[in-house]
């Protein structure tokens, strides 16, 4: 290896993937990228992602890095990879990165968007969560605001997930309604890190507030309880998109 580090920005429809991370016998985003890059490189190549999206979760701009001996210009590498990738994923950009760049550990903030709809639409199948009845958006916003800042998010971490710690700094969260496309709720959230299943757990619990099954005060109690059993059901993966990964001193 020459030590050349490339930063890849990748979009994908997560519907037919078993998530990002390579798993034996499963189709994964990382697996497809590594197969394409290995074919281009002529030897096995490891691709490292900024985060491990779960099965069914989509990405607008997932970030990955790879160490390579390839001498092709970065923009030509993007085209060569796309020629080898399936049509449900796309390498949007390839850029040369500093030697110390790491897609995961150099990231300073990650942003997700979650889409909810009140109407079935075949054009959006596997793209958003259909909740049938428009929820109380104002109540959901009030509950969401209690999450801002640094907290222990154990209540919104999938059971069985064991990170080194459960503290995250939630920098922003917004919930908007748009009338177009059958009516849709767009929830955006940014944090320095996310636990496994955290966004979908938050969305599922906020939906309980929107349906009037949980008050804002009870939602706050769920956060403070640090107990996953107190939260609502996990929202479906189909509505979740990794929207952006930020780095200090952008590459």
18 within 8 A of 45, measured Cβ to Cβ: no
What is the C-alpha to C-alpha distance for residues 99 and 12, in angstroms, rounded to an integer? 26
Position 60 pLDDT exceeds 60: yes
What is the C-alpha to C-alpha distance for residues 84 and 40, in angstroms, rounded to an integer? 9
pLDDT tens for 166-182 read: 999 999 999 999 988 87
What is the C-alpha to C-alpha distance for residues 231 and 225, in angstroms, rounded to an integer? 9
**Residue 22: half-sphere exposure toward Cβ, Cα within 13 Å:** 11
What is the C-alpha to C-alpha distance for residues 27 and 38, in angstroms, rounded to an integer? 16
Can you tell me whether residue 145 is helix, strand or coil?
helix
CATH number of this structure's domain 4-105: 3.30.70.580
Per-residue confidence (pLDDT) for residue 180, from 0 to 100: 84
> Which option is the CATH number for 108-246: 3.40.50.300, 3.20.20.70, 1.10.3720.10, 3.30.70.660?
3.30.70.660
- Compute CA distances 221 → 57, 146, 174, whole Å: 28, 10, 20
**CA terminus-to-terminus distance, the chain:** 21
Q: Which of 95, 22, 105, 90 is nearest to 58 (CA)?
A: 90
Helices (H), 53-136: 74-84
Is 54 considered catalytic here?
A: yes
Per-residue confidence (pLDDT) for residue 18, from 0 to 100: 97
Per-residue confidence (pLDDT) for residue 250, from 0 to 100: 59
Per-residue confidence (pLDDT) for residue 248, from 0 to 100: 83
Give span(s): CATH 3.30.70.580, the chain: 4-105
Residue 209 pLDDT grade (very low, low, confident, very high; cuts 50, 70, 90): very high
pLDDT tens for 123-158 read: 898 999 999 888 999 999 999 999 999 999 999 998
Q: Which of 13, 54, 227, 246 is flagged as catalytic?
A: 54
Total-model pTM: 0.93
Could you give phi then psi for residue 34, rounded to 5 degrees? -65, -40
What is the C-alpha to C-alpha distance for residues 118 and 148, in angstroms, rounded to an integer? 27
What is the C-alpha to C-alpha distance for residues 42 and 227, in angstroms, rounded to an integer? 48
Can you tell me whether residue 99 is helix, strand or coil?
coil
Position 49 pLDDT exceeds 50: yes
Give span(s): CATH 3.30.70.660, the chain: 108-246
């Amino acid at each position: 290896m020459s030590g050349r580090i490339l930063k890849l920005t990748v979009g994908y429809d997560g519907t037919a993937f078993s998530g990002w991370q390579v798993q034996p016998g499963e189709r994964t985003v990382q697996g497809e990228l590594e197969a394409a890059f290995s074919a281009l490189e002529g030897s096995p190549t490891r691709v490292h992602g900024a985060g491990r999206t779960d099965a069914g979760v989509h990405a607008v701009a997932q970030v990955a890095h790879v160490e390579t001996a390839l001498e092709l210009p970065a923009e030509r590498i993007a085209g060569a990879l796309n020629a080898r990738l399936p049509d449900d994923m796309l390498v949007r950009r390839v850029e040369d990165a500093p030697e110390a760049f790491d897609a995961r550990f150099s990231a300073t903030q990650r942003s997700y968007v979650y889409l909810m709809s009140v109407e079935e639409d075949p054009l959006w199948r596997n793209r958003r969560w259909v909740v049938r009845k428009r929820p109380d958006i104002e109540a959901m916003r009030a509950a969401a605001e209690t999450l801002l800042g640094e907290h222990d998010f154990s209540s919104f971490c999938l059971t069985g997930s064991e990170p080194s710690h459960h503290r995250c700094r939630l920098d922003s969260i917004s919930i908007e309604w748009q009338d177009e496309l059958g009516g849709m709720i767009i929830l955006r959230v940014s944090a320095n890190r996310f636990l496994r299943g955290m966004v979908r757990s938050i969305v599922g619990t906020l939906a309980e507030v929107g349906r009037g099954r949980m008050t804002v005060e009870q939602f706050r109690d769920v956060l403070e309880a640090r107990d996953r059993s107190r939260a609502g059901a996990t929202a479906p993966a189909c509505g979740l998109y990794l929207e952006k990964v930020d780095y200090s001193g952008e590459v």
